């Protein structure tokens, strides 16, 4: 069992203002994984004050970019050396299957590497070409945006934390990271890694807190920028706070991504790809492909393939290497997903496999049966609302234009994909769907490309040079 009885504030482990520790229990069997201190508003004041002092007076924002890269490179090495340890801890805390947390922990050094590559060639300061006859030269600087409040969810704690911490620190910002109580332990272990890597005192705080204290943090007058990953509903509230205070903000929010299966698609490849794209991380994923749009000529054939896929998914103990889908993170999430399955039946969708009943022999944890609905109308709530669990819906379409129309008929615009034997036709489809990311035949994304969403899926982008650019301000100097 792991215990963090102190808060990590400004690079030091500090006694919390309020007594008592939060318990983290396994969503598989409710066994105790660990305990952690939680932050109150007074602790947030201390963390922001430390970050403010470190930004306004400390060396980090004025350190050469190359030196900041060295610190983050060292952190990346320390992280990679213990990747299996981080995977085990995340599985124990939030129930993500071990195959997924192992893959994620091994991939995260490459995510950080994308920022390191971007920082190496980033135009921190440049002189623009002088126009003929100009009386002055123009210098453009990219300077750190300031003190960052980074607020992250529980479903992928290290990915969500590092996609904010790394570019913010590389840019010279100071950061207060607010972790979710469900994954307090796996987030707090990052603190000592950053300290060992050489992040100076005051630059980084990592605290665990609930919603009210989170709102206190993002509303704090000492914060210059908010970086948030979470639900669209929470994102709207944060955006309103940022708007009132004219704070910079980036939001990575929800999704209801469509996978378009054209008539010439390889259905076996489609099913194998959607195993990961639709059900990876227990389907508690904002980018999950949960609306499967299939040409009418292949509709029943595709439904049969997807039925076989869903019924093949092993549900059980997330620590078991044979398990593909573990439990939902908490009882509330389990109830939410099961209620959507009930809703789909009420709406008149055809329940092909799965259902609201608990998986046999797993009633001690927060489990849900992977579920497939067919004959779904895109106007149904199960097609329009993010479920955040292992439920997919299949919707027929008539032609490419109809598929694009249905895909775009959504309040979200985060991800999606298309399956076709004709690459150019697939690309033409991809260009017409209004989402921030899109795959052709299940191709994996690059960490060097920007990630984010249209519409209700967020504001701003993460990864690579574009993600690094979210943490700088532009200054123009005429000489």
Q: Do domains 2-253+457-478 and 257-446 have the same CATH topology?
A: no
Q: Is 226 helix (H, G, I), strand (E, B) or coil?
A: strand
Q: What is the model's pLDDT at position 133?
A: 84
Query: Where along the chain do its domains lie?
Result: 2-253+457-478, 257-446
- Helix 157-171 to helix 65-80 angle, to the nearest 10 degrees? 160
Q: Which residues pair with 7 in a beta bridge?
A: 14
Interval 213-237: pLDDT, tens: 999 999 999 999 999 999 999 999 9
Q: Is 3 helix (H, G, I), strand (E, B) or coil?
A: strand
Taking residue 291's Cβ as centre, other Cβ atoms within 10 Å add up to: 26
For residue 390 the two structure tokens come to: 């292992």
Query: Is the distance from CB of 298 to CB of 403 less than 8 angstroms?
Result: no
First to last CA, the chain: 60
Query: Under CATH, which architecture does the 257-446 domain have?
Result: 3-Layer(aba) Sandwich (3.40)
Q: What is the model's pLDDT at position 134?
A: 83
Largest Cα span, the chain: 80
Tell me which residues are annotated as active site. 252, 286
| C-alpha neighbours within 13 Å on the C-beta side of residue 437 | 29
Q: Taking Cα atoms as reference points, which of 213, 211, 220 lies closest to residue 148?
A: 220
The CA-based angle 314-317-320, given to 5 degrees, is 80
| Separation CA 68–CA 124 (nearest Å) | 13
Query: Under CATH, which architecture does the 2-253+457-478 domain have?
Result: 3-Layer(aba) Sandwich (3.40)
Segment holding 392, helix H or strand E: strand 391-397
Query: Is the distance from CB of 195 to CB of 102 less than 8 angstroms?
Result: no
Look at strands 21-25 and 32-37 and give their pairing. antiparallel
Q: Which residues pair with 179 in a beta bridge?
A: 208
pTM reported for the whole predicted model? 0.96
| Separation CA 87–CA 103 (nearest Å) | 8
Q: What is the model's pLDDT at position 296?
A: 98
Low pLDDT (below 50) residues in the chain: none
Segment holding 346, helix H or strand E: helix 331-347
Q: Is 112 helix (H, G, I), strand (E, B) or coil?
A: helix
Output phi, psi for 442, to 5 deg: 75, 15
């Amino acid at each position: 069992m792991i215990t963090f009885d102190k808060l990590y504030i400004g690079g030091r482990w500090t006694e919390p203002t309020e007594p008592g520790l939060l318990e983290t229990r396994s969503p598989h069997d409710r066994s105790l994984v660990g305990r952690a201190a939680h932050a109150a508003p007074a602790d947030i004041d201390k963390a922001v004050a430390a970050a403010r002092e470190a930004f306004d007076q400390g060396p980090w924002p004025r350190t050469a970019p190359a030196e900041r890269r060295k610190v983050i490179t060292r952190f990346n090495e320390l992280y990679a050396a213990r990747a299996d340890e981080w995977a085990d801890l995340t599985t124990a805390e939030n129930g993500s299957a071990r195959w997924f947390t192992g893959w994620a922990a091994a991939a995260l050094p490459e995510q950080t590497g994308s920022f390191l590559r971007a920082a190496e060639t980033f135009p921190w300061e440049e002189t623009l070409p002088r126009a003929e006859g100009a009386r002055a030269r123009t210098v453009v600087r990219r300077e750190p945006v300031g003190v960052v409040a980074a607020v992250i969810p529980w479903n992928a704690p290290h990915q969500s934390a590092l996609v904010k911490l790394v570019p913010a620190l590389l840019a010279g910002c100071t950061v207060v990271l607010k972790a979710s109580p469900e994954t307090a332990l796996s987030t707090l272990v990052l603190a000592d890694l950053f300290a060992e890597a050489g992040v100076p005192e005051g630059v980084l705080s990592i605290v665990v807190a609930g919603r009210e204290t989170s709102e206190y943090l993002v509303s704090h007058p000492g914060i210059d920028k908010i970086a948030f990953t979470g639900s669209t509903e929470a994102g709207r509230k944060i955006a309103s706070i940022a708007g009132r205070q004219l704070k910079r903000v980036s939001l990575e929010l929800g999704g209801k991504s469509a996978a378009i299966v054209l008539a010439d698609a390889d259905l076996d490849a489609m099913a194998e790809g959607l195993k990961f794209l639709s059900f990876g991380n227990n389907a508690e994923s904002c980018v999950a492909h949960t609306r499967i749009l299939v040409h009418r000529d292949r509709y029943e054939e595709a439904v049969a393939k997807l039925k076989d896929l869903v019924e093949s998914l092993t549900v059980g103990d997330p620590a078991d290497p044979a398990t593909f889908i573990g439990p939902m993170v908490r009882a509330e999430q389990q109830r939410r997903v099961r209620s959507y399955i009930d809703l789909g039946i009420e709406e008149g969708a055809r329940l092909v496999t799965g259902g609201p009943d608990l998986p046999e022999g797993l009633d001690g944890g927060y489990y849900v049966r992977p579920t497939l609905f067919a004959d779904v109308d895109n106007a149904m709530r199960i097609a329009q609302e993010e479920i955040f669990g292992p439920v997919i819906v299949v919707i027929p379409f008539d032609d490419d234009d109809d598929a694009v129309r249905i895909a775009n008929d959504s309040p979200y615009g985060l991800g999606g994909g298309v399956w076709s034997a004709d690459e150019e036709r697939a690309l033409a489809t991809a260009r017409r769907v209004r989402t921030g990311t899109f795959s052709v035949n299940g191709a994996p994304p690059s960490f060097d490309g920007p990630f984010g969403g249209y519409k209700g899926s967020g504001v701003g982008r993460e990864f690579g040079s574009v993600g690094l650019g979210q943490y700088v301000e532009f200054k123009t100097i005429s000489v």
